[in-house]
Amino acid sequence: MKNLTKMTSRSELLWQSLTGTGTLPVHRRVSPNHPLDLFAQLDGAGQVGLLAISSQSPGDVPTYTSVDVSIGLRSDGAWATSISLRQPQLRQLFAAMCDEIIDQGETTTEGTQAGGFVLHLLARWQRLLALGPDGLLSSQQRLGLAGELTILTKAITHLGPGLAIDAWRGPLDAPQDFVFPTFLVEVKSITLGGTEVIISSSEQLDIKPSALSLAVCEFIIRPATKDSGTLSSMVSQIREKVMNEPEAAGKFEILIREAGFIDRDEYTREEYNLTQIQWYTITENFPCLRRSELPSAITKAKYSLEISQLSPFKVAERGKPWNQ
């Protein structure tokens, strides 16, 4: 995966080569031997993007805030799929996405439809493109991801890469962060001295008693002084753990992207030093709002839990879910 800061964008070079070459729109094949009919383009408005030509329709036109998508049937019977950047401030991130489309397109199987392929990868990048002008996770999002990666690393150690990666649902906005075959784990991250955790919905803790564990990860955040404890190093460590299992490795790359992470220098600048993980079992008496117990007129609920009040439900090392 490319580092946005350090690597020269392949797409950017193509767009620069198109500047001033003729009347808009202008196009250039991304590579003479590329297996897909894929072209870098400056569209009619001068917006940078990609054009894909395929023999089959890629389907409905998706709508995005930052990217214009158009699909049309050409006079020769082929389908043209165009994606163009609507928000210039996202150009660096958009270029990284286009680089990935070009690079992954070089390894596609025979018969892959270029239009559908482009739209499929575009959909994966939408969370990143929606993060804002700098394309970076917020401080709270980074803290939350550090907690999930911490628990994921432990799950890989105890249960193996395949089962652990399959269970990780946090990036998919599921009610619980991990869904294992016989138990679930919800992860909350706090900084040193934090006294509360936020429960984002009434469904989050509304699980059969004892089937759900709450893991509260406490961190000290400081400027990075070494290549460890950063989000980038956490991701790298997991990649090393799953590298010998291609299916798990591929799923991890999809999930880490869905979480809003991409390799960038900015994610090497903070250390998340874990001070402790507090584990709690969600029993019938655990203090929480349960969807099943709320009036139907209440459609959404978000609330805070005071950590000091949860001690009756705390479990020791042997009580952790993978030790059962």
DSSP 268-314: GSEEEEEEEEEEEE--TTS----GGGS-TT-----EEEEGGGGGGGE
Q: Where are the domains of the chain?
A: 10-129, 139-323
> What pLDDT score does 124 carry?
84
> What pLDDT score does 178 carry?
96
> What pLDDT score does 318 carry?
61
CA–CA dist 19, 214 (Å, integer): 54
CA–CA dist 159, 165 (Å, integer): 10
pLDDT in tens, 158-172: 999 999 999 999 998
Query: Could you tell me if 212 and 242 are in contact, meaning their C-beta atoms sit under 8 angstroms apart?
Result: no
Q: Which ranges of the chain have pLDDT less than 50?
A: 1, 5
179 forms beta bridges with 184
> What pLDDT score does 132 carry?
72
Confirm whether pTM is higher than 0.85: no
Sign of CA dihedral 273, 279, 285, 290: positive
Coil vs helix vs strand at 218: strand
> What pLDDT score does 54 carry?
96
3-state DSSP: the chain helix, strand, coil percent, rounded to 5?
A: 35, 25, 40
